[in-house]
A and B are shown apart, each in its own frame.
Chain A
């Protein structure tokens, strides 16, 4: 990247130590290419955190502008307005007004809009300009405007609004240098330092009654601006029209929808496999290498049997998670996800949810935590509560290690329904289905009891179809793998160490005790009576307890328990010992238990924050635990 200037050249008066770089906020409606531009500017130099108090993801990055100059760029959630009706809108508004702890009020703004829909997108321009900050208007998707025969007079628009204007096609990295030039000017000006709280004035809110007048006035203003700058709207996108006539077709639409969902599931269990085998090989080989390198002491067992095997058994599922997130990313960035939400809305509406719940629920297949956060875009509070209540029923990727282990151990790899699906895939699909059914029934009950509502509305903007930006996809994948590995690295690392320690005490004359006599074994035996009706023994009991931290921990736990137990004999694969120890019915019961029970403290924590209290998370945890226990009991009796 850029070299640091050792000697400050002819910059402006350097009177103080270089303090914090200026902060620029990136504002824009959803689907305007905001995040793509953010990624182009910051690349890998970005951090994701949460805003204090709320769980809105805060994306802050550093833009290096040469000559040692940098600015901090914050990517705000995409919003249509600042009425603070949704959490995203509230956060955007608070950041702009400088009311968020830990973030200075911005020194300058970048408003990015999709220029092909200029009139629609400029509804944000008036409140943004009223902030009185230096503002750059980015007309994104300029290539699309040209290609579809639209025009706009940038000069006139810039003059009319009194701001700088840059045209970009952020996906192709075109025009982004213009944005950098603007940022360089801001950087040279330095941070204003003044912590001024500005108000977004004239924000129509639900409280001020003549809402419609305020919007109508704003609309009129925008129309005037657009006309004065000779905006000629582009022709409708032919590609979008052609694709929509297929994807939203009465018959083909739902079929394609189902095919997409099936493709996602099949691929995470086929495409990811070679990568997983690779990781497995690496963990195994490096474990052997460590055994060969370290002297035969007590800590060799901790490192190899505890930490290495435990963390390794979880890292192996990284490829599956990445493939899943890659698919979700492509679906979302291409514009298909919005269509999927529309297709899903009718069915969701019948259940008591709405189409917007589709994205959180689909994200729930990766992880319930970001999924519950994604539900913030649901403007109706009761719809949102019902959605996040049932989201953990979606088969998250943390369940996959558990499913994969038990399915591989107990379900034969034989074809069912011809060559297209194996029995294993069918069982997996069944478990996904079980989660869906539980979610539907639960949502249906909730909306008729605790969360009774008047009918709500559903509005979904359908963005033009676009080829997803590779960079944005890759950065998101990187982001997700970091989060996953941090989980593996922290929670699972800690749990494996505690577990290993519990297996080492009370010490006997000859060293560590038999696993059954150890402290861990004692804990397992205390639990055993409770899970005995499910056909499970104390070993699985320990796994169920430790997997409260995170579901996938049970795999590492069982690995530790059996690994330690059989440490002196030849290494037996976990699957083989499980087959020896569990009846098939109990294994299926355990699968059902994990399909239903809320074995995830992160979800409980997020629920507490998102619902501002303990009522919902406690209700949810208890409900899902009973469902899991009951389901496992029934399964054990049936099979």
Chain B
């Protein structure tokens, strides 16, 4: 059985972390993964509401993201299950 860990129902757009260009910081909206796959993410602070920024791509084309000053390597399959939204224009400039 598979159920999603979703914080809120789908929002206006369906943007995934995998679609985000390098160096663009976004906010995580929901994690579209079964609990057992989501839990390791949660423990490392990848939670709805957190800011996450793809900083690099591995030689195999998988994203490496920065979150709270930690670097985390994901598979692109996982990144495609992370729903994100762009930060509004009032994001901090620093």
Residues of A within 8 A of B (CB): 80-81, 83, 85, 116-117, 119-120, 123, 204, 206, 211-212, 215-216, 219, 233-234, 236, 240, 244-245, 248-251, 253-254, 338, 341-343, 345-347, 349, 355, 379, 455-463
Contact = CB atoms under 8 A, between A and B. Distances in A.
Main secondary structure of the interface of B (DSSP, over half): mixed
B61 to A, nearest CB: 7
Given A120-B67, A457-B37, A343 B45 contact: no
A458 B7 CA distance: 22
Contact of A457 (B40, B48, B66, B69): B40
A342 B65 CA distance: 13
Nearest to B78: A457
Nearest to A124: B43
19 contacts: A81-B39, A81-B43, A116-B69, A117-B68, A117-B70, A123-B45, A211-B35, A212-B5, A219-B47, A234-B69, A253-B58, A338-B73, A345-B58, A345-B62, A379-B40, A455-B77, A456-B37, A457-B77, A461-B44
Contacts of B40: 80, 85, 379, 457, 459
Residue among A219, A343, A345, A457 with the most chain B CB within 10 A?
A: A457
B42 A120 contact: no
Contact of B71 (A251, A345, A347, A461): A461
B60 interface: yes
Contact of B75 (A212, A341, A349): A349
Interface string B41-59: 1111101111000001111
A120 B7 CA distance: 20
B71 A462 contact: yes
B38 to A, nearest CB: 7
Contacts of A119: 45, 68-69
Contacts of A343: 58-60
B33 interface: yes
Nearest to B49: A216
A212 B72 CA distance: 19
Contacts of A245: 56
Given A120-B69, A461-B70, A211 B64 contact: no
A206 B40 CA distance: 11
Nearest to A247: B59
Given A219-B47, A253-B58, 12 more contacts: A81-B39, A120-B69, A206-B39, A211-B39, A215-B43, A216-B7, A240-B71, A250-B59, A341-B73, A346-B62, A379-B40, A461-B72
B49 A462 contact: no
B36 interface: yes
A244 B59 CA distance: 11
Contacts of A236: 66, 69
Contacts of A251: 59
Contacts of B33: 457
Given A120-B70, A233-B69, A343-B59, A248 B41 contact: no
Nearest to A244: B56
Contacts of A346: 58-62
Interface residues of B, number: 39
B87 interface: no
Contacts of B70: 117, 120, 461-462
B74 interface: yes
A238 to B, nearest CB: 13
Contacts of B31: 212
Contacts of B62: 342, 345-346
A462 B57 CA distance: 13
B42 A458 contact: no
A253 B36 CA distance: 31
A211 B42 contact: yes
Contacts of A206: 35-36, 39
Contacts of A248: 56, 58-59, 64
Contacts of B48: 212, 216
B25 to A, nearest CB: 13
Shortest 10 CB-CB distances between A and B: which pairs?
A346-B60, A462-B71, A80-B43, A81-B43, A460-B73, A215-B42, A120-B68, A253-B59, A342-B73, A457-B37
A244 B64 CA distance: 11
B57 to A, nearest CB: 8
Contacts of B68: 117, 119-120, 233
Given A83-B39, A457-B40, A461-B72, A215 B78 contact: no
B60 A460 contact: no
A215 B66 contact: no
A263 to B, nearest CB: 19
A345 to B, nearest CB: 7
A212 B7 contact: yes
A240 B55 CA distance: 12
A559 B5 CA distance: 63
Nearest to B5: A212
A211 B5 contact: yes
Nearest to B66: A236
Nearest to A343: B59
A249 B58 CA distance: 7
Contact of B43 (A83, A116, A216, A244): A83
